[in-house]
Amino acid sequence: MEKQFENFKLRYTIGGLIFGLLLSLIILIITLEINNYDFSFHSIIEINKENPVNILLLISPFLAISVLAYFTGVYTDSINKKRLSDNELSNNRFESINNFIDKLRKGETIQKTDDFSDTDKIGKSLMNLKDELEKSKEEEDSRQKEDSQRSWTSGGLALFGAVLREYNENIDVLANKVISELVKYIDAKQAGFYLTDLSDPNNWVIREVANFAYGRKRFANKKFNWGEGLIGACINEKKSTFIDNIDENYFEIESGLGSAKPRSILIVPIITEEGIIHGALEISSFKIYEDFEIMFVEQIAASIAITISTLKINEETARLLKESREQAEVLTRQEDELRKTISDMRRLQENADIQSVAFRSYQDSTNKALIRAEFSNNGNLEFANKRFLDLFGYKSNTEVQDKHISNFIDPKEDMWFENVSNEIINKNKHFEGILNHVSKTGKNLWIESSYIGMRDDKGKVEKILFLGINATDLKLNAENLQNKIEIINNSVYKMDLSPSDDINNIGIRLLNFLNYTNEDILNISIHNFIPDEDKQAFKVILENVKTNNQVYEGDFSFKDKNNNVFRFFTNIFCEKDTNDNLVSVSVILFDYNQEFLAKQKIFELEKTVSQLNENIQESREKFNRRIELAREEMKELYTEIETSNIFHETTLSLLPDAVITLNSENKIIYVNESVLELWASLDDVYTGNDVSTLFPKLEKEQKGTYLGDLFNINLTEKVLGDRENVYIIDKEGKRKELTMLMTEVSLGLRKRLTVFLTINP
């Protein structure tokens, strides 16, 4: 380029020199002609001598034209250089624009460039076009992402809806199937299914019924107290918990390649819309879940809650049917129980003997009891083993350390330990017996106890050892058995005879029936109550019972105080001790005069039971048919509701109006894309939150009707079915004038309030 410029200067300069030389030569020739000189070198010298001015006339054109040609060449070079520079700039700018447009066409990322000045309209237009295309691409990506999320959510709801419908017969099978499918669908690494256990009203607990990790099921054995840990807190508060900053002490997820801590924990309550809590889902993963995935799990949990509620209703129905069958069986068994009454009473007497022997054997083994504690000489507890702590309701030795023995015994026996310790320490004795102790909660405990002095090598008692066996159940059983025996003695016709046939004891009922008092018959022979014609036979029967250990069952006659004769069904058997020595003879009597009436009642009862069984069977069949029909209707209704919800949301999403729906708790359950555009919001941060997130309270009143004052499900008076002009304040603080149409739908306790908004022209 520089050479080209230098050639222009040289070319113009040489041309000027040649042209000036020619012009000077022409002037010279003319001058020679005018002065009549011939054209020769001598003539040129002569004419210049004559007039030196001629030299200037000859040199001036040459110099002037040469200089003019030189400066003309310089000027021409500068013009060409500027033209070429402008062409180069134009070419570079064109190349920049071409590269910019090519990147836009290919969708490549374009950084801000300095090629375009602030006054460059084309550059500004291209940058604006870039921004608009990027914004359009972002919006398209956002729409595709939302469509993908919506499709993913709809597919998941359909999948789990089918699972819940297919596995709704057993809660364990349902839990395992749901948790395994959920782990796969949301790409979790580990999950647990927890249910509340309210069977004990005083101790509500939370149990793990299913879990799943790395494609395999683990044994579910976790149990939490109510409100304990993250699971308990989630169920207690009835709110979802999402943690993405896992503590380093949290559990690790293990696999065949090693172990790693999860990146996030999601705990969702299994709760119905009515607020009935059934349990929780716990999910751990190496990924951070997005809001739509958390909402999906919450929707699944709500569907699970509905299924569990239905399952519990079915179980309650089955329980009622079972109770009906059991009641029918009870009526059937009453006849058998009536026939077995005599043999049952005999077994009760035998059990009483066995319990008595077992109780004495229990007393003999107190020195080997496993309950152990050590007390100082002044009665302060120094040590207690686990059996002692568990029995008395304590958790560790620190709770009972240095407590006085009076904290563990009945206050009525407050002076007991002083007497016992004096006997042990000063008289080298020990104590054995059943004592009434008291647990931490005040519960009475009967313990077969031994208190023994532990002596040092000098024979001095340094502490008192307590050994015991829990005899609370045995004590209560013995008391219950004694009470039962007394009830039997007072409820049936019964008497006990000595080996010599004298009456040792007689039941109040039989005593009153025979019109005697205890003083009248005590130590009187039973033969005084037998009619003369039956005395010999009765003696033979008694002898066989006592000698051969036989049991007599048959009817016999007895006389009352007024010699009135009554017929009884008699059961006679002997009672012997462990050495097979006769202790007493028991005689149990049943009024035989009412036998016929009893048989009639039994016959009528049999007919009634038979009719009742037929009625129950018929009711059962009707009830089963009704349950089956209801189950099919529920399946169809669930499918219709699920389909209707999808159609409803799809239809609302396509409306040009902005649509907002509230539930009965005044929470936003649906907004379409027009709402986000109206509020100038890029993301849906409203669904699932209170209506106040869309309509915050205004700091000062403005002219017109604020939609936030009208759109509230708790208002007693609402503007329903009429169009109303209102205004809102979007996220940027701008006021927008709208036309509102509000509708309300109720279904049982559930309510939905929906508003349709149109921008005023």
Q: Report CA torsion sign: 546, 549, 554, 560.
A: positive
311 and 186 co-located in one domain: yes
In a domain, 328, yes or no: no
**More confident position, 673 or 134:** 673
Mean residue pLDDT across the chain: 77
Residue at 603 is within a domain: no
Tell me how far apart the alpha carbons of residues 88 and 94 are, in angstroms, rounded to a whole number. Answer: 10
Query: Tokens in use for 575?
Result: 């009672």
Residue 319, pLDDT score: 81
Whole-angstrom Cα distance, residue 486 to residue 78? 139
Phi, psi of 170 (to 5 degrees): -140, 130
Q: Which residues contact 284 (CB under 8 A, 6 or more apart)?
A: 188, 189, 190, 191, 253, 262, 264, 265, 266
Cα gap 569→557, rounded to integer Å: 9
Percent of the chain having pLDDT more than 90?
1
Mean pLDDT of 655-680: 86
**Rg of the chain (C-alpha set):** 56
Residues 294 and 387 reside in one and the same domain: no
Residue 149 domain-assigned?
A: no
In which band, very low, low, confident or very high, does the pLDDT at 439 lie, cut at 50, 70 and 90?
confident
CA 463 to chain centre: 53
Q: Looking at residue 215, what is its pLDDT?
A: 45
Q: 572 and 518 in one domain?
A: yes
pLDDT for res 203: 83
The answer for residues whose C-beta is within 8 angstroms of residue 558's C-beta and 6 or more apart is: 514, 529, 530, 531, 565, 566, 568, 589
For residue 366, what pLDDT band results from cuts at 50, 70 and 90?
very low
Q: CATH number for the domain including 310? A: 3.30.450.40
Residues 576 and 659 in one domain: no
Asked if residue 213 and residue 280 are part of one domain, the reply reads: yes
* pLDDT for position 704: 86
Residues 314, 384: one domain?
no
Q: What is the pLDDT of residues 47-75, one digit of tens each?
A: 666 676 666 666 777 777 777 877 787 77
Asked if the structure places residue 644 within a domain, the reply is no
Categorize the per-residue pLDDT at 250 as very low, low, confident or very high, splitting at 50, 70 and 90: low
End-to-end alpha carbon distance in the chain: 64
The reported pLDDT for the residue numbered 3 is 45
Lowest mean pLDDT among 10-24, 38-52, 343-357, 369-383: 343-357
Which two tokens mark 266? 């999601």
Mind listing the pLDDT tens digit for each residue in 702-734? Answer: 888 888 888 888 887 888 888 889 888 888 888
Which of 698, 674, 696, 686 minimizes the C-alpha distance to 756? 674
Do 179 and 292 reside in the same domain of the chain? yes
For residue range 85-132, list pLDDT tens digits in order: 666 666 666 676 767 676 666 666 565 554 555 556 666 676 777 677
Residue 412 one-letter amino acid: K
262: tokens are 């999860």
Of 217-226, 351-360, 366-375, 741-750, the one with minimum mean pLDDT is 351-360
Task: Round to whole Å and give the CA distance between 107 and 130.
Answer: 10
pLDDT of residue 370: 67
Statement to judge: residues 309 and 438 lie in one domain: no
The whole-number pLDDT of residue 287 equals 84
What pLDDT was estimated at residue 153?
Answer: 86
pLDDT in tens, 179-223: 888 888 888 888 889 998 887 878 888 888 888 874 444 545 678
Contacts of 256 (CB under 8 A, 6+ apart): none
* Beta-bridge mates of residue 465: 374, 452
What DSSP line would sit under 142-179, residue for residue? Answer: HHHHHHHHHHHHHHHHHHHHHHHHHT-S-HHHHHHHHH
Say if residue 291 is exposed, middle or buried (CB neighbours under 10 Å; 0-12, 13-18, 19+): middle
Full residue range of the structural domain in which residue 729 is found: 655-759
What's the domain count of the chain?
5
Check whether residue 300 and residue 412 sit in a common domain: no
User: In angstroms, rounded to a whole number, what is the distance separating the alpha carbons of residues 705 and 710?
Assistant: 8
pLDDT of residue 257: 39
Q: Which 3 state secondary structure label does DSSP give 111?
A: coil
**Residue 445 in contact with residue 438, Cβ under 8 Å?**
yes
734 inside domain: yes
pLDDT of residue 528: 82
Each residue of 448-491: pLDDT tens digit?
878 888 887 777 888 888 888 887 777 777 777 666 666 665 65
| 3-state SS class at 617 | helix
Which of the listed residues 100, 119, 149 is the one where a domain comes to its end? 100
What is the pLDDT at residue 332? 74
Q: How confident is the model at residue 300 (pLDDT cuts 50, 70, 90)?
A: confident
Q: What pLDDT band is residue 684 in, cutting at 50, 70 and 90?
A: confident
Asked whether residue 672 falls in the same domain as residue 554, the answer is: no
| Confidence at 408, pLDDT banded by 50, 70, 90 | confident
What is the C-alpha to C-alpha distance for residues 422 and 179, in angstroms, rounded to an integer? 66
- For residue 379, pLDDT over 70 is answered with yes
- Same domain as 420, residue 290: no
Query: Whole-angstrom Cα distance, residue 149 to residue 293?
Result: 8
Domain-located, residue 645: no
CATH assignment of the domain containing 583? 3.30.450.20
Asked, for residue 610, whether it belongs to a domain, the answer is no
Residue 17 pLDDT > 70: yes
* pLDDT confidence tier of residue 161, bands split at 50, 70 and 90: confident
385 within domain boundaries? yes
Tokens of 695: 């309509």
Which pLDDT score, from 0 to 100, does residue 618 have?
79
Range 636-645 contact pairs with CB under 8 angstroms and sequence separation of 24 or more: 638/161, 638/165, 639/161, 642/157, 642/158, 642/161
Q: Residue 532: which residues within 8 A CB-CB, separation 6 or more?
A: none
Residue 388 gets the label, from left (phi > 0), alpha (psi -120 to 50) or beta, of: alpha
Q: Are residues 709 and 747 in the same domain?
A: yes
Q: How many CB atoms lie within 10 A of CB 494?
A: 21
Among 318, 338, 357, the domain boundary falls at 318
Least confident window among 402-411, 568-577, 587-596: 587-596
Q: How far is residue 168's CA from residue 718's CA, in Å, rounded to a whole number?
A: 41
Domain end residue (candidates: 594, 613, 640)? 594
Place of tokens 């039997």: 488
Cα(231)–Cα(267) distance, rounded to whole angstroms? 7
